[in-house]
Structure 1
Amino acid sequence: MKKISLQWRITLMTALLIGVTCIAMNLLLCSSGIYYMDTIADTLQGGDRILLDEEDTVSFDPQLAAPDGELTILIDGAQGRFRTTNWYITAVVTALSGILAYFVSGHALKPLRNFASQTEKVQLNNLADIRINENVLPEFRQLGHSLNQMLERLNNAFSAQKQFTGNAAHELRTPLALMQAQLELFCAEHPDMPPETADFLSLLQEQTERLSQMTKTLLEMSNLQQVERNESIQLAPMVEEIFTDLTPLAEKSGITLELAGDGVMTGSDALIYRMIFNLTENAIKYNRPDGSVQVCITQEPEKLLILVSDTGRGIPEEYQQSIFQPFFRVDKSRSRTFGGAGLGLALVWEIAALHGGSVRVAESSDSGTTIAAELPRSGNHAAAPKNETL
């Protein structure tokens, strides 16, 4: 019963109620009709006249009357037809009432479906710009008001979180840059240091560089909303440029890079470049030696589909929804080896969402992984209008 929709519940309850009412009326009408038929039959068999009212009478000629047996058969036949007709009428009225109740309840529940469709349009990237329409039925007005207040609180919380992340990254950038400069200067001034000291300083430089990259990515993620997204982007030349930048990394493991297809979209050239760069870089880093990475671009009337495929070991199914979360890493040891901080795919997800698109693991097995990014071609999806009311 829990899986039945509210419309069907109302329909079934209404049909059941009408059916019980019709059955009760049918039983009462049958009892009343049969009683009066028996009364008429007794009158016809026992008397020579029937009183119609206080003044008029109808004469009855006993010689024209049917014998008692035939009259009883006629009365019984009439009673049977009367019952059958009543049950047919009950069934038809119940069925028609159920059909009518279904359409009437569907019309009555239309505001609820509209309300549900409004809430489905609420996304993480449009909390500040979207509001649920409160000019609805009284039953949903308070709910809509409560949802709008909840969205406002969530937006404030996410804004505070992003502001804190941006401020922290900004404050960390300067001391980290100073540490890097001092370490490089110290290493340059002391070329004859002991091997233990050299290894220690090399480790410090490596970790300082890793922290610098992390703060840079955090700062970029906190400032994504301010980036203009109205540039016309030709994707094939952009991917070729990405391949050129990543060729040294790919050659270390003998990875071949392949491009198929092309497309044009409206958005931020720098952000889309970073999104495809991160996906391709990950595909190279977590690939098998002498493997391949293919970027396939398919242009559709309303959207672009970008598929980045590798020949790596795949992503376990239980992690496929989590890899786009900040700081999440499937294999932490391998991520540290490659210098990853778990922010590359999180930034990919943010960029795709900011352009009104999405990113997901399309396929993953022992023979490789394919990550799909869907982006609208039009810039109309790049940013939601302010104070939009659904």
Structure 2
Amino acid sequence: MLRLLASLYFFVFFSIIAINQSSEYIWKNWGNPAPSELDYAKQVAVNLRDVLNTIGINNYPQKNSLNIIHINDVAWFPEQRAALNKGDVVISFDSHDNYQFFMLLNDKSTVVKLGPFAPKPNSILTKYAFKLVSFSILALLLILWLRPLWRDLEQLKVVTEQLATGRLDIETKPSRFSAISTLTQHIQKLALQTASLMQNQKQLVNAVSHELRTPLARLKFALAMLAPKDPQQVQAMNQDVVEMELLIDEMLSYARLEFSEREMTRAKINLSELVQAQIDKVSISSNKQINHHLKPNVFVDGNDHYLARVLQNLLQNAEKYGEQQILVELKQENDDDVILIVSDDGPGIPEDKRDSVFNPFTRLDSSRSKETGGFGLGLAIVTKILGWHSGACWVTESEINGASFHVSLPISKN
């Protein structure tokens, strides 16, 4: 960062100096007509002096219009006095930049003063044109300095977008001339390492999916062969195998979510119909009373498969831990968000543990243990899917004295 600031400071500093010096030179030689104007007026003064010396000042027809002074009436600078004695025309300027001429006649005592004369005003258009050109050159130089920096920042943007969407085929082309080239190389190296880790994780998930299922299938076959000898013991072992199989399925499902967002398609979804369909599905196998109040025709943008997974997990959670009833509400509180609330009348969740239930493999107490069939991944999956949809989930105490899960999703504007 220090290198970036120093580079920018010195670049701008020296660019301004170069532009100012160049502009001043151009203005003096081409933009400002004052030098040629003075040369012309000086030549006129020399011609007048020659005329006065030839015919005599008293014989000059317009003598009364001349400003005649004695040489000793003015406090001359030494160089001015010397120039007058040499026969040169002396030019001086007043506080308003008006110029005047002094010339000494042949009698070496009479000085004729011409002026003061106001200089020819410079064109405002020319003045601002020079300023425009100067600032345009500075802007061009800044663009040339910023171009490598802009290219590196664009590359960083592409790299982060690729990582965010799960693309692992990252290609980098760092610039040697950028002020942040070192930082860019470190970030791109980190991105390549992250992509490599994600690729390894994906390969590990695929390997686990195959390698763990194979011995489990053999174990289930062996238990089936042993069942006639000790049915009770084999049944208990079968339950452990089934539980292990369910845990592996849940873990693999959660791990695959890391790579699912890239392939997820989005569309406009009628959330009211989607919620109703999931309620109907759960009602078939549930022995609890499910009450619902759904606002009709609420639309959101997203993937219906993954949003259905969110609804399934929340309803199954309420089914597991509720005692007698489940309450589902879908309402729109403002023009931006829709709120889905799934409540149960179970033991509830202590306030100090409500945030932790969304962490993977979190089970709070015996009432929410593996005996109910959960492994602590359902709510973690809910959080991850809602993150893809710019949504959120939080827990409060329900109106029916259990846990109440609130889901917020942005309403479709299309």
TM superposition score category, shorter chain reference: 0.5 to 0.7
What does the per-residue CA deviation read over 1:280-301, in whole Å, with 9 as the maximum and x for residues that have no partner?
A: 3335657798673335699x9x
**SS of match in other structure, 1:340:** coil
Q: 1:256 to 1:343 in 2, by over 3 A?
A: same
Mapped partners of 1:47, 1:265: distance in 2:
90
Q: Distance in 2 between matches of 1:278 and 1:205?
A: 25
The counterpart of 2:314, out of the listed 273, 279, 287, is: 279
Aligned partner of 2:84 among 32, 48, 53: 48
Work out which of the residue numbers 202, 212, 228 in structure 1 matches 2:245: 212
Contact residue 173 and residue 216 of structure 1 kept, 8 A: no
Measured in 1, the distance between the counterparts of 2:228 and 2:338 equals 44
Per the alignment, do residues 206 and 161 of structure 1 end up closer, same or farther by CA in structure 2, a change over 3 Å counting? same
Larger-gyration structure (1/2): 2
| Count of paired positions | 309
1:253-282: CA deviations, max 9, x gaps? x6644433444878674x553343113333
Say yes or no: does 1:121 pair with 2:161.
yes
The one-letter code of the counterpart of 1:361 is: A
Q: CA deviation at 1:114?
A: 1.2
- CA deviations on 1:62-93 (whole Å, 9 max, x unpaired) are 54389xxxxxxx9xxxxxxxxxxxxxxxxx99
Conserved 8 A contact 1:217-1:343: yes
Contact kept? 2:355, 2:394, Cα under 8 Å: no
The residue aligned with 2:205 is 162
Distance 1:154 1:243 in 2: 39
8 A Cα contact 1:234 1:262, kept in partner: yes
TM-score normalised according to structure 2 size: 0.50
C-alpha distance in structure 2 between counterparts of 1:206 and 1:120, whole Å: 45
- The residue type equivalent to 1:211 in the other structure is M
* Match runs of 1:51-66 below 5 Å: 60=104, 63-64=110-111
Percent of residue pairs identical: 13
Alpha carbons of 1:179 and 1:109: their partners in 2 closer, same or farther (altered >3 Å)?
Answer: same
1:37 aligns with none
Question: How far does residue 44 in structure 1 lie from its aligned partner after superposition?
Answer: 1.7
Within the candidate set 136, 151, 170, 1:131 is matched to 170
* 1:37-71, Cα deviation, whole Å (9 max, x unpaired): xxx9431256633587xxxxx953554389xxxxx
User: Residue 329 of structure 1 aligns to which amino acid in structure 2?
Assistant: T
In the alignment, the residues of structure 2 paired with residue 266 and residue 94 of structure 1 have an alpha-carbon distance, to the nearest angstrom, of 52
SS at match of 1:131: coil
Question: Does the Cα contact within 8 Å between 1:214 and 1:343 map onto a contact in 2?
Answer: no
Q: Distance in 1 between matches of 2:304 and 2:194?
A: 27
- Choose the corresponding residue for 2:280, options 241, 244, 253: 244
Q: Where does the alignment leave 5 or more consecutive residues of structure 1 unmatched?
A: 26-39, 53-57, 67-73, 75-91, 191-196, 379-390
8 Å contact kept, 1:49–1:59: no
Alignment of 1:1-390 (within 5 A): 11-17=8-14, 41-45=77-81, 48-49=84-85, 60=104, 63-64=110-111, 105-123=145-163, 126-128=166-168, 130-132=169-171, 134=173, 137=175, 143=185, 146=189, 149-150=192-193, 153-171=196-214, 173-174=216-217, 177=220, 208-220=241-253, 236-247=272-283, 252=288, 256-260=291-295, 261-263=297-299, 269=305, 272-282=307-317, 292-295=327-330, 307-310=339-342, 313=349, 319=355, 323=358, 327-329=360-362, 331=364, 333-336=366-369, 338-348=372-382, 357-358=388-389, 361-364=392-395, 368-372=404-408
* Contact preservation (8 Å) 2:216, 2:241: no
Counterparts in 2 of 1:186 and 1:265: CA distance versus 1, 3 Å: farther
Deviation of 1:118 after TM superposition, in Å, equals 0.2
What TM-score results when the alignment is normalised by the length of structure 1?
0.52
The question of whether the paired residues in 1 share the 8 Å contact of 2:392 and 2:407 is answered with yes
1:205 and 1:313 map into 2 onto residues whose CA distance is 32
8 Å Cα contact 1:296/1:308 also seen in 2:
yes
**Structure 2: distance between partners of 1:148 and 1:309:** 39
Q: CA deviation at 1:170?
A: 1.5
CA distance in 2, matches of 1:245, 1:95: 70
For structure 2, list consecutive stretches of 5 or more residues without a partner in the other structure. Answer: 23-75, 89-101, 117-131, 399-403
Distance 1:125 1:217, change over 3 A: farther
Alpha carbons of structure 1 residues 360 and 262: separation in structure 2 relative to 1, 3 Å: closer
What CA deviation, in whole Å up to 9, does each residue of 1:118-144 have, x standing for no partner?
A: 02212365234x43364x745579949
Q: Does the aligned pair in 2 maintain the 1:180–1:208 contact within 8 Å?
A: no
Equivalent residues of 2:163, 2:191 under 8 A apart: no
1:280 aligned partner, one-letter code: L
> Conserved in 2, the CA contact under 8 Å of 1:221 and 1:347?
yes
